[in-house]
Chains A and B, each alone.
Chain A
Amino acid sequence: MTHHAEHVADVAIVGAGLMGSAAAFFLRRRDRSVLLIERGLAGQQASGVNFGNVRRQGRPMRQLPLANRSSSWWRRMPELVGMDVEYLQYGHMRVCYRDRPERVAEFEAYAREVRPLGLDLEIIGGAALRERFPFLGPDVLAASYSAQDGHANPRLVAPAFARAARRLGAQVFENTAVAHLGKSGEDFRITAEDGRIFCAPVVLITAGAWAHAFSSQVGEPVPLIGRGPTMCVTEPVPYHIRPSVGVSTPLERESVYFRQIPRGNVIIGGSTRGPVVPDLWRAYVQPQNTLSQLRQIQRLAPALARLHVIRVWSGIEGYTPDDMPVMGRSERVSGLYYAFGFSGSGFQLGPGVGDVMAELIDTGATDVPLEDYRPCRFAGISIPQPATSAAAFSE
């Protein structure tokens, strides 16, 4: 057997998506030595294929401290990671349709609740709404507008954090699949498929839809399900629409959203998500989901009907039963930490998650509430077998 040198550091991070890459970056800022281990390339999975919403509104109240922490980092992104990740703080709006007028009262109640937490929302309806956002369809009744939210380019952010972490001294190992995670004495021992060994007293699991394999191994099973977002982009047209716009509805099918980028293309997401098989690494968009999404988007913004879709894509996101992540300390193994299962809404949180996890690992505490994200909340829930996907092709 080939003898491989061991790589040793204070913290080993498994998974270089946005959460892992940002954590590596913030740990280096706290002068902790870091090994960042990634099966493929940094930010290639859910972190790189999501819609790119950087929104706080719509999140549960108890998540806002974390989202606010993140928000402050988003505003400083170029100085933080050394490049423009196309973050535009041009607002985010949630709209409701005329057939759900009860949503307006919900918008108002939510706005009242979150205002003390630093999120200012403006409820707009009637002529004012048409005047400010003339692209909205006649079915739209009202909107909740958050001027301090926006959108960014997900393809750039996680890789930018990984590169910035490396510039600060983190050791980044891409194309390195983890075969085994074990603990002997005080140290964790991570063995890669090619035999390389990584040792650290602290391990952070940020492996997205693949993370539960590690948590199950230590007796903390999480019923994580992989799902694929339905995404598409149109040809470029003159730039007019600045905020990111989405529908607030209890129906998944109706919940579409879109944003235009200065280059002119309109990016469309939402509506029905597809099943995925994480082990296949590639997720295909189900064609009927694209068509249903395109029907819905015309209700939200009828003018989009005149455009062509030039490309669709999907990815592999990890969902928990309550759509809340698993984040914080392991309750069974000391030195083990988690940040995964962000259930399709982790992009905005990314920099904040990296910062908070670094703080927690470095100081042993954080003032950001993490009680809702404990892995033990799933104790007793049966773990579903991975669904075989109609979208996956047999080899």
Chain B
Amino acid sequence: MVERDVTAPELTALTRATTQPRVLIVGAGPAGVRCAETLVAAGVKPTVIDEGRRDGGQIYRRQPETFTRSYRSLYGTEADRAEALHRCFDGLRGRIEYLPESLAWNVSPSCLHVLQQLRHLELAFDALVLCTGATDRLLPVKGWNLAGTFSLGGAQVALKSQACAIGRAVVFLGTGPLLYLVASQYLEAGANVAAVLDVSAWPARLAALPELLAAPRTLLKGLRLTAALRRAAVPVHTGIQPIEILGTALEGVRGVVCRDARGRRLTVGCDAVALGLHLRPETQLADLAGCEFRFDTDTRQWAPRLDADGRSSVAGVYLAGDGARVLGAAAAEVAGRLAAMAVLEDFRLQAPGSERPALRKTRSRLTRFARGLSKAFPWPVRHVAALSDDTVICRCECVTVGELRQIVSGTEAREVNRAKAFSRVGMGRCQGRYCGHAAAEVIAQAARVPLEQVGRLRAQAPVKPVPIAASQEGA
């Protein structure tokens, strides 16, 4: 057996001036691409590490090379933005180091650990810009562990990347703009949208109107999506309370039961459910890098503490895009540029350009809009409180809400990592990505403490599961 005493740093052979800082960008979505563009324009050659096979991130995910759908059919109202971003990235090729299909699975001081297919790389850095994007924020519903339940993001990926729907009749359940966007994309693609079931109620949207007017065109697009769904006679119910996803272990999802705004029981038949309530930033790398976090009372979630341009509390670590704050793709492009400018400024390569104040202004405008969205489509704390004891909360480890409540009251585990240690909630494959927020709410409610006192799940490497075989040289 071949053995090496120490893993020699396998740095990619980058021939560049020694005075240049080594800049790594994790993620090739809107934030990562614009960050790379800004750095390249200043004469820096960054390395872009991305999990995807192609650039674009989740929102502007590119179809496989052999697929030929048009930008209009793939991205709808966002076609121009998607095309501009892809063109931009195509133009950067050759002027950046690009590692697609590569997972940044861990970070240690000044070194990013990357798994490229089955090869481990250690990439030393002076500046690390995390543009890691967001994933769906999920609310457990009894039966969400049945086959046929997908996240909204997953439902969208199936359509964008593989041109297929998640089922023959799909219920969209949750809240937030993505709920309507993906439902209308399914509709447009010819899929059968059985219903849109939104947990937030209309009055909240009116109350949020002043902040939503910060981005009037986006607001208008949203309204058009809703109108299109209604025109197509898709049942849209707001202010609902999810009760159960029906089905069997063998056959999967067969329907959704909820209570409508007037308290009537409503059953919708379907064979797939797309579930999502806004997004949550993917902050594992920031956590492993030692960044400080703060609690955001609007969205009831934790986020890395940042300055106006994306500097974290750790020198040399920057964050941009939805991986830091969920502000949407347009804001992510702006944040990517700002983070690149911060890097250039910190390494004395370039004084911030005259466009920085305008970028910062755009970012705060979009922040206001995002706050409006979180008011219009609030995280439904009351539904978490109402979850039945037999609802599975942690799908990876098969822990029910009742078991978690019992552990909290029986062991006084009032802190989320403590409750995780005793109950296994959040210990599985997803490391709490799917259940973490709901688990924290359940713990807070059972322990009768405010949510921020429950704390947040500590991230542990690997960011995603890594194969043991990959540690073997020559595997």
Contact = CB atoms under 8 A, between A and B. Distances in A.
Q: Is B one of A's binding partners?
A: yes
Interface of A: 41, 44, 48, 139, 155-156, 159, 163, 234-235, 253, 263, 282, 284-288, 290-292, 294-295, 297-299, 304-313, 390-391, 393-395
A81 to B, nearest CB: 12
Given A235-B465, A306-B469, 7 more contacts: A286-B108, A287-B122, A291-B471, A294-B468, A299-B1, A313-B460, A394-B315
Nearest to B427: A311
A310 B288 contact: no
Interface stretch (B38-46, B415-423, B437-445): B415-423
B380 interface: no
16 contacts: A235-B428, A235-B429, A284-B108, A287-B113, A291-B7, A294-B468, A298-B468, A304-B468, A305-B467, A308-B466, A310-B428, A310-B431, A311-B431, A311-B461, A312-B461, A394-B314
A390 B110 CA distance: 10
Interface residues of B, number: 43
B471 A295 contact: yes
Contacts of B290: 393-395
A308 B470 CA distance: 9
A111 B315 CA distance: 55
B20 interface: no
A291 B120 contact: yes
B108 A391 contact: yes
Contacts of B315: 394
Nearest to B466: A309
Contacts of A297: 468
Contacts of B469: 298, 305-306
A374 B415 CA distance: 38
Contact of B468 (A156, A234, A311, A312): A234
For the complex, would chain B's binding face be called helix, strand, loop or mixed by DSSP majority? loop
A48 B315 CA distance: 32
A295 B5 CA distance: 11
A313 B458 CA distance: 10
A309 B7 contact: no
Nearest to A156: B422
Interface of B: 1, 3, 5-7, 105-106, 108-109, 111, 113, 120, 122, 288-290, 292, 313-315, 397, 411, 415, 418, 421-422, 427-429, 431, 458, 460-462, 465-469, 471-473, 475
Q: Which of B288, B415, B428, B471 is packed against the most chain A CB atoms within 10 Å?
A: B471
Contacts of A235: 428-429, 465
A295 B6 CA distance: 12
Nearest to B414: A41
Contact of A295 (B3, B113, B289, B415): B3
Given A304-B468, A308-B467, A393-B109, A41 B415 contact: yes
Contacts of B462: 309-312
A394 B5 CA distance: 28
Contacts of B465: 235, 308-310
B456 to A, nearest CB: 13
B135 to A, nearest CB: 16
B311 to A, nearest CB: 14
Contacts of A288: 6-7, 122
B288 A284 contact: yes
A390 B108 contact: yes
A294 B120 CA distance: 12
Given A155-B421, A288-B6, A308-B466, A295 B106 contact: no
A286 B289 CA distance: 12
A295 B472 contact: yes
B411 A163 contact: yes
A390 B290 CA distance: 13
A41 B7 contact: no
Given A295-B3, A297-B468, A310-B431, A287 B289 contact: no
Nearest to A231: B460
Contacts of A44: 418
B105 to A, nearest CB: 8
A37 to B, nearest CB: 17
Contacts of B3: 295
Nearest to B2: A295
A363 to B, nearest CB: 33
Contacts of B427: 311
A305 B288 contact: no
Most B-side CB within 10 Å, residue of A286, A295, A297, A391: A295
A290 B115 CA distance: 13
Nearest to A266: B468
A38 B306 CA distance: 33
Contact of A159 (B1, B106, B111, B411): B411
Contact of A285 (B421, B461, B466): B461
A189 B421 CA distance: 33
A393 B289 contact: yes
B114 to A, nearest CB: 10
A155 B422 CA distance: 7
Contacts of B458: 282
Given A290-B461, A308-B466, A310-B465, A298 B472 contact: yes
Contacts of B475: 305
Contact of A390 (B109, B289, B397, B428): B109
Contacts of B415: 41
Contacts of B429: 235, 310
Nearest to B105: A287
A48 B109 contact: no
Contacts of B313: 395
A135 to B, nearest CB: 14
Contacts of B5: 253
B300 to A, nearest CB: 24
In this complex, the member of B5, B111, B466 whose beta carbon has the largest number of chain A beta carbons within 10 angstroms is B466
Contacts of B411: 159, 163
Question: What 8 A-B pairs come out closest when comparing CB atoms?
Answer: A393-B290, A294-B471, A308-B465, A305-B469, A155-B421, A287-B113, A287-B106, A291-B471
B8 to A, nearest CB: 10
A352 B267 CA distance: 59
B461 A306 contact: no
B351 to A, nearest CB: 27
Which of A48, A156, A292 counts the most chain B CB atoms within 10 A?
Answer: A292
B108 A287 contact: yes
B468 A305 contact: yes
A217 B187 CA distance: 73
B461 A292 contact: no
A253 B105 CA distance: 22
A159 B422 contact: yes
A48 B421 contact: yes
A261 to B, nearest CB: 11
Nearest to B289: A393
Contacts of A48: 421
